[in-house]
């Protein structure tokens, strides 16, 4: 079988008739994002680790994280990749244009990495440690798409 035979190309929209609950901490995160364009996380009361996105229990010392903190909105690229393989975006049901950047962002004041799209630029290639900021959607809907992507400063 030729290598090309493994590639299936489809057009049109894919219907995804399901929803999921983001939980108490995810709800607060998206509420703050939508209503105030603020990035919030939680801080462990024992070790001080700040989680963004927020998680209820610290994975280092198993304490319940109860202190909400605002971080960013700027941060830096902790890691990244450039996606060049076309595929159907499960969030939109249509093929996402390639290439695009996908990064792991550490918001200022956070200890964990936050995954999202990163704008590619011919003039300034992505690099670890590059300063970035989120570009917000015009219409906020309390979803991860409220941040369209991150751009380098």
> Which spans of this chain sit near Zn ion (rule: CB under 5 A)?
44, 46-47, 49, 58, 60-61
> What's the token pair of residue 49?
């680790």
> What's the token pair of residue 88?
């159907």
CB of 113 to Zn ion, least distance (A): 17
CB of 137 to Zn ion, least distance (A): 33
Please report which helix (H) or strand (E) contains residue 36, including its range. helix 23-36
Given the complex with Zn ion, which of 70 and 111 has the nearer CB atom? Answer: 111
CB of 19 to Zn ion, least distance (A): 31
Given the complex with Zn ion, which of 14 and 60 has the nearer CB atom? Answer: 60
C-alpha closest to that of 25 among 60, 58, 48, 73:
58
C-alpha closest to that of 132 among 122, 142, 121, 145:
121
Q: How many C-alpha atoms does 11 have within 13 Å on its Cβ side?
A: 0
Given the complex with Zn ion, which of 42 and 126 has the nearer CB atom? Answer: 42
CB of 65 to Zn ion, least distance (A): 8
Given the complex with Zn ion, which of 35 and 63 has the nearer CB atom? Answer: 63
Given the complex with Zn ion, which of 36 and 56 has the nearer CB atom? Answer: 56
CB of 99 to Zn ion, least distance (A): 38
Separation of alpha carbons 148 and 144, rounded Å: 8
Q: Specify whether the CB–CB gap between 132 and 153 falls below 8 A.
A: yes
């Amino acid at each position: 079988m030729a290598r090309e035979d493994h590639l299936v190309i489809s057009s049109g929209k894919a219907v995804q008739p399901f929803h999921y609950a983001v939980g108490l901490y995810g709800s607060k995160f998206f509420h703050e994002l939508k209503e105030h364009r603020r990035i919030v996380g939680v801080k462990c009361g024992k070790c001080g680790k700040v989680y963004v996105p927020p998680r209820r229990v610290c994975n280092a010392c198993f304490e319940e994280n109860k202190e909400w903190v605002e971080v960013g909105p700027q941060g830096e690229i902790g890691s990244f990749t450039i996606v060049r393989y076309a595929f159907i975006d499960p969030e939109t049901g249509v093929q996402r244009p390639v290439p695009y950047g996908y990064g792991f962002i550490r918001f200022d004041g956070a200890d964990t990495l936050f995954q999202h799209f990163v704008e590619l630029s011919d003039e300034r290639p992505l690099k670890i440690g590059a300063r970035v900021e989120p570009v917000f959607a015009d219409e906020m809907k309390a979803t991860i798409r409220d941040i369209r992507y991150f751009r380098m400063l």
